[in-house]
Structure 1
């Protein structure tokens, strides 16, 4: 599969700004119509918006680094983008990885001249019809990192103006991911609080102690067993549930 020819190069800054405003407005209406918090869909909207708005961008996708170091292809606009993301993960080289770890922005003006930097990945990209690329580092929080990647068939098409416009979409993608991470963290915190509260209740009933004493027992058990407090609480809740299931119902 190859990329389509690049579009008109005469867009002024005003026209780009107007197009960007229209895309963001259309994206917002799309998300409101869905009425949910589907992160994958939101990122897909951002990727499609970048292709429609950033001059010369013909394909796009978001690369996210997983905990084990692999690269997950998120919201790719085509199978080519997915393949190239997965290839970077297996080869451990490529411009998206450099944007994630080393640079805020990686620009490949001519893929034919990128062999020295990424000898295996650059060849694969050219074989798939990629002539130039620009990758933007997404704002990384603890334990996460990513990049928004824009592809074009022709070399030397990404300049400062296109880079500035693409950076706006990268900022939107970063906000979506950060919001999703915070929501996930909040959910985990609530779940942890619930299981700790359940464990405190078990200790209060079993030993006839108050809330403070029950919590102190959990903390002490955590220190002596070298386990996280929530893991101790989870074990205790599971053990109590197991005990309850073994009780013979009263006649």
Structure 2
């Protein structure tokens, strides 16, 4: 009981800590670091996200996380790959011993053994509105993770999903504000230099963006830097 009380206190402290991070990057780093600190026998942790069939490793605490994620992406299977894939219905898993899972993931497991992985757990990071990826925890020792560890990991992942979603939303809002500011500045330059109306200035930026396959924000940044739209032959 004392252990669970202490863990509950750690979870409460973690929830506040995660929401106080200054950036999305810092939030993700704190999530994975917390996994190694709070879950017994967790030697490494990371967050795997899928973009189509491509995997990306976020905030890995050790190189083995990157290697495992890349391996799963290469062979197209694996526990983290399954957990991160939306719609599979599997929101958490625990592999007590990699030697017992060769039939389930015949391409991944033999190569994972070469990474000296003994056991692992994974948890889908999700909120009511979105799936964010999978928080994965690794141990080099077979049989390292118990049911209590799985419960602890699930609790950590629940806090992590809320913090991840909140930090990403904040980052997107900050980016949107920055984009709106720089586009407004570029429009002002075009309006002053070419005596355009507000609508005409925005249309000019958008037309250049579409014609040259350049993001609108990047076009606006070039206008602010140069004082006007780039010449069509300018490859910069």
Common fold by TM > 0.5: yes
- Counterpart of 2:227 in 1: which secondary structure? helix
Change (3 A) 1:129 1:20: farther
The answer to whether residue 28 in structure 2 is matched with residue 47 in structure 1 is no
**Structure 2 residue corresponding to 1:183, chosen from 159, 162, 170:** 170
Alignment partner for residue 80 of structure 2, among 90, 96, 106? Answer: 96
What is the CA distance between 1:164 and its match in structure 2? 2.7
Counterpart Cα distance in 2 of 1:157 and 1:119: 22
Query: In the alignment, which residue of structure 1 is the partner of 2:56?
Result: 71
- Paired residue secondary structure (1:119): coil
Separation in structure 1 between the aligned mates of residue 117 and residue 209 of structure 2, nearest angstrom: 55
Q: Residue 121 of structure 1 is aligned with which of 100, 108, 115?
A: 108
Change (3 A) 1:100 1:200: same
Query: Residue 226 and residue 45 in structure 1: after superposition, are their counterparts in 2 closer, same or farther (change >3 A)?
Result: closer
**Which one of the candidate residues 3, 6, 22 is aligned to 1:15?**
3
Q: Which residue of 1 aligns with 2:123?
A: 136
Offset at 1:202?
Answer: 2.3
Distance change in 2, residues 1:48/1:143 (3 Å): closer
Q: Is the 8 A contact 2:49 2:56 kept in 1?
A: yes
Distance of aligned partners of 1:205 and 1:42 in 2 relative to their CA distance in 1, 3 Å threshold: closer
Cα displacement (A) at 1:137: 0.9
Partner of 2:134: 147
Q: 2: distance between equivalents of 1:188 and 1:230? A: 10
Larger CA Rg, structure 1 vs 2: 1
Q: Is the alpha carbon distance of 1:98 and 1:203 closer, same or farther for their aligned partners in structure 2, counting shifts above 3 Å?
A: same
The structure-2 alpha-carbon separation of the partners of 1:72 and 1:202, relative to structure 1 and needing over 3 Å to count, comes to same
Classify 1:73/1:189 alpha carbon distance in 2 versus 1 (closer, same or farther; 3 Å).
closer
> Normalised by the size of structure 2, how large is the TM-score?
0.71
Runs of 5+ consecutive residues of structure 1 not aligned to the other structure: 1-11, 244-251
TM-score by length of structure 1 reads 0.68
Residue 100 of structure 1 and its aligned partner are, at CA, apart by 0.4
Alpha-carbon separation, structure 2, partners of 1:75 and 1:24 = 23
2:234: which partner in 1?
none
Shift of 1:133: 1.9
Other-structure match for 1:110: 97
- Judged with a 3 Å threshold, the aligned counterparts in structure 2 of structure 1 residues 157 and 198 are, in CA distance, closer, same or farther, namely closer
Q: How many residues matched? A: 222
Over the aligned positions, Cα root-mean-square deviation in angstroms equals: 3.8
